[in-house]
Amino acid sequence: MDPGFEARLARRKDLVRRRQIVRRRILIGSFAGVLLCVAAFLLFTRDSGNSGGPSSVPAASGNQDGNGGQNPAGSGNSENTARGGAHPDDSWETHTGPVPILMYHVIGPAAGAEDYPGLFLSTEDFRDQVNWLAQNGYTAVTLVQVQNAWYDGGTLPPKPVVLSFDDGYLGQYLFAMPILEKQGWAGQLNLKSEGSDLSSKQVKKMYRAGWEIASHSITHPDLTTLDPSALEHELVGSKQELQKDLGIRIINFCYPAGQYNDEVKAAVEAAGYRGATTVNPGLAEKSMPFELNRVRIDAGDGADALSEKLSALGV
Ligand SMILES: [Zn+2]
């Protein structure tokens, strides 16, 4: 064989081998790059979902996202664009007057109703009430949206109403949420951070549907009977647990069984909440942020009963 040819062949083989090595390195390199990007993305999303400590998200700062009003904890706002519920339009105006907050408990079949017969409302009655509200010009908003209008110059629809749901019963997710969603509305869920019927996945779905998630303590005790450290634990602990679990900011509180006194009220404010709902009857007023009245909805209340209760309050 021609020695020149042999040398050329050897050089050629060598070149091909080097090119293959280079190509393999590039492939491995880009694969590693993709892996790194995926890992970084996962880390980032996990971090931004969990950064819910009260120190990083002061509850009393303005929330004028006009999007259910409850920003996710942390800096990211992108989640808001997908949230349901009522959104401001041309008909919304500044509003500092009182607002009715309706108080619901169990929606749906009255299983175990013998224990708390007054706390159940059938799905049909609830649907009739929501339809009546819509037909009579009301729009359901969250308490956070009301507070934005009261304190931060935000706007509200002409006849605002808040539908609040206590404790976290399954029917609130299964029945109340879809009925409200049909009107483009969302409610306020006052959630025990432990022992409710609802999973975090279900609560997150409600949040995405525009619901405000508020704290209803950890274990639903009578707060007036607790010593200061136990009281602080129920108030601060529930806020932290819900924020960590859901990755959203918790802004408002609801007194378990409506029990509170001056000490409890001061502790709720000190825990960084912006407002607290009671079971005291009447309209919620701007001047009483930690004693917000509500309109109790009783078992058997249909559209007529709701209409009577609201007109008795002048709204
Ligand atoms: Zn309760």
Q: What is the pLDDT of residues 203-243, one digit of tens each?
A: 999 999 999 999 999 999 999 999 999 999 999 999 999 99
Which pLDDT band holds residue 118 (cuts at 50, 70, 90)?
confident
**Which pLDDT belongs to residue 62?**
38
Considering the chain, what is the average pLDDT of its residues?
84
Cα–ligand 1 centroid distance for 166 (angstroms): 5
pLDDT per residue over 63-76, tens digit each?
Answer: 434 456 676 544 44
How far is Cα 134 from Cα 132, in angstroms, rounded to an integer? 5
Cα–ligand 1 centroid distance for 155 (angstroms): 29
CATH architecture, domain 51-312 = Alpha-Beta Barrel (3.20)
Describe the crossing of helices 200-208 and 238-246 by its angle, rounded to 10 degrees: 80
DSSP H helices in the chain: 3-50, 123-135, 143-152, 170-171, 177-182, 200-208, 228-232, 238-246, 262-270, 303-312
Type and span of the H or E element at 191: strand 188-191
> Following CA atoms 131, 163, 99, 129 in sequence, which dihedral angle do they give, to the nearest 10 degrees?
20
pTM of the predicted protein model: 0.78
How far is Cα 251 from Cα 62, in angstroms, rounded to an integer? 11
* Residue 79: both structure tokens together: 């989640």
Largest CA distance in the chain: 111
* Residue 63: both structure tokens together: 């929330």
Which pLDDT band holds residue 56 (cuts at 50, 70, 90)?
very low
- Report whether pLDDT(77) > 50: no
Residue 142: strand, helix, or coil:
coil
Cα–Cα distances (Å) from 222 to 181, 230, 263, 292, in that order, read: 33, 11, 13, 18
How far is Cα 137 from Cα 56, in angstroms, rounded to an integer? 39
Cα–ligand 1 centroid distance for 256 (angstroms): 5
| Domain assignments of the chain as residue spans, ordered by start | 51-312
- Report whether pLDDT(53) > 80: no
Cα–ligand 1 centroid distance for 257 (angstroms): 5
How far is Cα 26 from Cα 232, in angstroms, rounded to an integer? 57
Cα–ligand 1 centroid distance for 199 (angstroms): 17
Cα–ligand 1 centroid distance for 216 (angstroms): 7
Cα–ligand 1 centroid distance for 249 (angstroms): 20
